[in-house]
């Protein structure tokens, strides 16, 4: 285990987007704010006083869900909380990615530290210790309905904190939860009243995946502008439609950013200059070229709206019941994942559409009737070589899948818990399919960039702009230029790696939105 040199402080206030990414993806270490821990302790004393009350209080001295009216005697309450976690850790299917589990655990810890859940300080400290030890509970793909929050995924995490279940250590080795804690010198938590509920009632899984998706989209939507610029240039298009005064006639914020990116990327292009005079008979480019700022910009605006929702959720204390600031313990419905489910679905729609436009540009490179002088399929020896014909097939297949993934999960609801939970958000499923959508979008953009890079080479001796030329040169480090047919899959994967790592954005230079 290599300790991270990054630290994230978790207290009463919200963690930031960057905090989530740092803990989830870079193993940043967590420090708990002492003043906030004192607030957690003060709230816990309210729970302790209610636990001694002869009147029933939900989640403290009663059962859960449809069993909320069943009174539980003091000697059975520790078992009640442990039984809750064990029974709710009912996931199935493949393991969820390590970064997702770390994100959801950080977000649950952030809610615990608000002092609104009633847990003991030691429980919050154990969550931080597990994350700092890089222990990752095994969470499964299926189990959450997004209401009451992400019950099953969070229960799998709580089970490991109790010293049960399964986890992977810092090396990725699968261990029993108790063994993983023991190896790290962490004592298991014995849950007290209310704590089982506090550890599993939250939107943390879907929120964590939303924050990670927004981090990915910031890179992918800039990459989409880069890919479009390379295609406009290589297909002898024009940048005239991207002019600032034209964009101002429709003051959509994302569109303006995308158009500005395209203008900067294409600045100084000898290829564009070569046909910019009156001898150019082109009236206007196809939509997939000319309307790139409109489509990419709409996706940017959708991401901006999703970020607003995510920011509000990061500032939330999601639990049921909650301990209010004035000391009441009150049931509520804030765990319902609809706000997150909607925007997760919106982003899947936007991702599918950006990928669809990219694939259409790729296809134009390969069609001799529309590519303005490029060889069919960009083949080296037409008839003998197939060029990049099947790379476009791959992109088309991915786009078809992305269209299916764009069907919203949040409009579905299957009642559960004997009709107590009779309307659920399916936000977890919206988040899971968005992760697949973003993976597909990155691959489709990589294929367009690889294709456009070959087209730019075939336009020699005319040269591209400095930014697009730098990206073409970067592509050449993992994929060779024009030539006879060769094994394409490794080259595609190489360019995918450049897209996912952000290397394409870095090569294009600074100043891009």
Say if residue 102 is exposed, middle or buried (CB neighbours under 10 Å; 0-12, 13-18, 19+): buried
Q: Among 281, 124, 252, which Cα is nearest to 195's? A: 124
Kindly give the pairing relationship between strand 174-176 and strand 7-10: unpaired
What is the Cα–Cα distance from 10 to 18, expressed in whole angstroms?
A: 13
Element (H, E) at 97: none
Contact yes or no for 19/33 (Cβ under 8 A)? no
* 46 alpha-carbon distance from chain centroid: 37
Report the top-level CATH class of 210-276+285-508.
mainly alpha
pLDDT of residue 202: 93
Domain ranges of the chain: 7-201, 210-276+285-508
Q: What is the pLDDT of residue 64?
A: 65
250-282 confidence digits (pLDDT tens): 999 999 999 999 999 999 999 999 998 776 666
Distances (CA, A) of 352 to 66, 166, 403, 510: 40, 36, 6, 27
Whole-number pLDDT of residue 247? 96
Query: Tell me: the pLDDT tens digits for 99-141?
Result: 999 999 999 999 999 999 999 999 999 999 999 999 999 999 9
Q: What is the rounded CA–CA span in Å between residue 37 and residue 16? A: 19
Share of the chain above pLDDT 70, in %: 97
Residues 23 and 192: beta-carbon distance below 8 Å: no
pTM: 0.95
| Cα 336 from Cα 146, distance rounded (Å) | 7
What pLDDT was estimated at residue 411? 93
> What is the model's pLDDT at position 419?
75
**Which two tokens mark 114?**
């608000």
- DSSP code, position 485: -
Architecture of 7-201 per CATH? Answer: Orthogonal Bundle (1.10)
* Three-state secondary structure readout of 400-433: HHHHHHCCCCCCCCCCECCCCECCCCCHHHHHHH
Active site residue 58: yes
270 contacts: CB under 8 Å, gap ≥ 6: 462, 463, 464
Report residues of the chain scoring pLDDT below 50: none
Q: What is the pLDDT of residue 2?
A: 65
Q: Which residues contact 446 (CB under 8 A, 6 or more apart)?
A: 492, 495, 496, 498, 499
Distance CA 107, CA 413 (A): 25
Residue 79: phi, psi to the nearest 5? Answer: -65, -40
- The DSSP secondary structure of 342-401, one letter per residue, reads HHHHHHHHHHHHHHHHHHHHHHHHH-TTTTTSPPGGG-SSBTTB-TTHHHHHHHHHHHHH
For residues 99 and 107, give the distance between their C-alpha atoms in angstroms, rounded to a whole number: 12
């Amino acid at each position: 285990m290599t300790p991270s040199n990054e630290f994230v402080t978790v207290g009463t206030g919200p963690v930031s987007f960057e905090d989530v990414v740092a803990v989830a993806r870079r193993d940043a270490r967590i420090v708990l704010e002492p003043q906030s821990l004192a607030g957690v302790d003060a709230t816990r004393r309210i729970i302790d006083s209610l636990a001694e009350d002869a009147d029933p209080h939900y989640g403290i001295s009663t059962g859960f869900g449809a069993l909320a009216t069943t009174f539980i005697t003091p000697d059975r309450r520790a078992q009640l909380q442990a039984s809750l976690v064990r029974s709710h850790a009912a996931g199935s299917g493949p393991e969820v990615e390590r970064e997702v589990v770390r994100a959801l655990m950080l977000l649950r810890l952030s809610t615990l530290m608000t002092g609104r859940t009633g847990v003991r300080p030691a429980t919050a400290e154990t969550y931080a210790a597990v994350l700092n030890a890089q222990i990752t509970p095994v969470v499964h793909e299926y189990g959450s309905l997004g209401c009451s929050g992400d019950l099953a995924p969070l229960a799998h995490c709580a089970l490991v904190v109790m010293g049960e279940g399964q986890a992977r250590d810092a090396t990725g080795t699968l261990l029993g939860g108790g063994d993983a804690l023991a190896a790290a010198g962490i004592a298991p938590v014995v849950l007290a009243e209310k704590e089982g509920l506090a550890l599993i009632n939250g939107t943390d899984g879907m929120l964590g995946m939303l924050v990670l998706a927004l981090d990915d989209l910031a890179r992918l939507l800039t990459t989409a502008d880069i890919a479009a610029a390379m295609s406009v240039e290589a297909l002898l298009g024009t940048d005239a439609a991207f002019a600032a005064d034209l964009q101002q006639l429709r003051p959509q914020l994302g569109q303006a950013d995308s158009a500005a990116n395209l203008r900067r990327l294409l600045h100084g292009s000898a290829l564009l200059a070569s046909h910019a005079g009156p001898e150019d008979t082109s009236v206007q480019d196809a939509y997939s070229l000319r309307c790139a700022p409109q489509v990419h910009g709409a996706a940017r605006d959708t991401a901006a709206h999703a970020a607003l929702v995510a920011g509000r959720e990061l500032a939330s204390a999601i639990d049921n019941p909650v301990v209010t600031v004035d000391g009441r313990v009150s049931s509520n419905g804030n765990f319902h994942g609809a706000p997150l489910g909607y925007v997760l679905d919106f982003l899947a729609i936007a991702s599918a559409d950006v990928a669809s436009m990219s694939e259409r540009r790729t296809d134009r490179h390969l069609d001799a009737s529309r590519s303005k002088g490029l060889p069919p399929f960009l083949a080296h020896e037409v008839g003998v070589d197939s060029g990049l014909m099947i790379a476009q097939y791959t992109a088309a297949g991915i786009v078809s899948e992305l269209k299916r993934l764009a069907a919203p999960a949040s409009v579905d609801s299957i009642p559960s818990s004997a009709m107590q939970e009779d309307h659920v958000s399916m936000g977890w499923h919206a988040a899971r399919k968005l992760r697949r959508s973003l993976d597909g979008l990155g691959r489709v953009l990589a294929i367009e960039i690889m294709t456009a890079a070959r087209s730019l080479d075939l336009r020699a001796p005319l040269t591209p702009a400095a930014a697009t030329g730098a990206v073409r040169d970067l592509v050449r480090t993992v994929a060779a230029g024009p030539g006879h047919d060769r094994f394409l899959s490794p080259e595609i994967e190489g360019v995918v790696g450049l897209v996912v790592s952000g290397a394409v954005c870095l090569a294009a230079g600074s100043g891009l939105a």
